[in-house]
Amino acid sequence: MNLSYRWIIVAAGALMSCVAIGTMFSLAIFLEPMALDTQWSRAGISSAMTLNFLVMGLGGFAWGALSDRFGARIVVAIGAALLGLALVVASRAGSLLTFQISYGVLVGLAASAFFAPMIALTTAWFDTNRGLAVSLVSAGMGVAPMTISPFARWLISAYEWRTAMFDIGIMAWVLLLPAVLLVRQPPKPTMADAASTPVAEGAGMSVAQALRSPQFIVLGLTFFACCAAHSGPIFHMVSYAMLCGVAPMAAVTIYSVEGLAGLGGRLLYGVLADRLGVKPVLVAGLAIQAIVIAAYLSVSQLDQFYMLAVIFGATYGGVMPLYAVLAREYFGQRILGTVFGAATMLSSLGMALGPLAGGMIFDAYASYHWLFIGSALIGLGAAGIAIAFPPLPERALQPA
């Protein structure tokens, strides 16, 4: 394989994940000014994020299957065009329902076009250092809170939320459409390469067989519980910090610290997974995540938020790419886009729970405490499920 161009694939994938996930999660920054300007309820606005994840789940499965059949480039091109359009339309929404459809449905559908196809494409380009490569693509998500979130906050402060959302939609087009041109399929392996390439035990499975297998069931349930645990605390962290007395711009920097820590966590966990194995690193990360979520109940000062943000961001950021590596090891490359898209669909259902639950809890109790308690318990459940992962298959070499 072309050892230089594969890192361009990684860079393109990281940029796409940064823009797609960053624009979607910027709703957390828009939540407060939108509620004050429109008088829409927090739960109503937050439900757009819930719709994001529900649609993202279904979209991830569909886009993954399409990328297996037609290649990643056409899929990410459609996603890039749709993402900018969705944000522009959402910025002009005159009612909560219009906003929920444009932001919740269209942004979610667009954002789901990048993750599974680009992760699957990256694993196809890499025979070695696969954990690190996948982590670097996923690292774009960690960069997003350090870039798009402060940019959104600055735009809102300088103008107002509608102008800010419109400008971010235009920015998505400017960054993503050129990046699409960099996306290529890996070169066909030579006969010598094919003879020496290890094959996953499940590489001969059909999609239906793979989705019914114990490996996928545990993978999907763990991914679901992991995301259900951290989605609420991530989305409502800025509002929670402000409720604790932290100034608005300082509260956004907590989100940014999480993103920076997530970037480092992805690199650390990717390297550890390549060296120590994916399963033990994943289980340890999930347990740490649950403990840190519970610890947020006892903080109130900015420096305390920063300390926990470093650990929390590193753990939830670090474990996320490991699911793709496990899927590649269990099921091989041929159906990876479809299988990982299905796992992403389950994770998106988990992500959909937190924003809506947090909004409903706050509207009912004017407090986020029950959100963090429930999220910590779900996080412990995720670690328990991950312990049940079947052993990775012993991989045989293909005959020459």
Tens digits of per-residue pLDDT, 74-103? 999 999 999 999 999 999 988 889 998 999
Amino acid 315: pLDDT: 92
Residue 343 lies in a domain: yes
> Could you tell me the residue range of the domain that residue 252 belongs to?
5-389
Amino acid 395: pLDDT: 47
Amino acid 40: pLDDT: 84
Structure tokens at 320: 């996320």
Q: How many domains does the chain have?
A: 1
Residue 193 lies in a domain: yes
Residue 397 lies in a domain: no
Residues of the chain under the 50 pLDDT cut: 1, 191-201, 395-400
Residue 400 lies in a domain: no
The CATH number for 49's domain is 1.20.1250.20
Residue 395 lies in a domain: no
Cut 0.75: pTM above it: no
Amino acid 196: pLDDT: 45
Residue 153 lies in a domain: yes
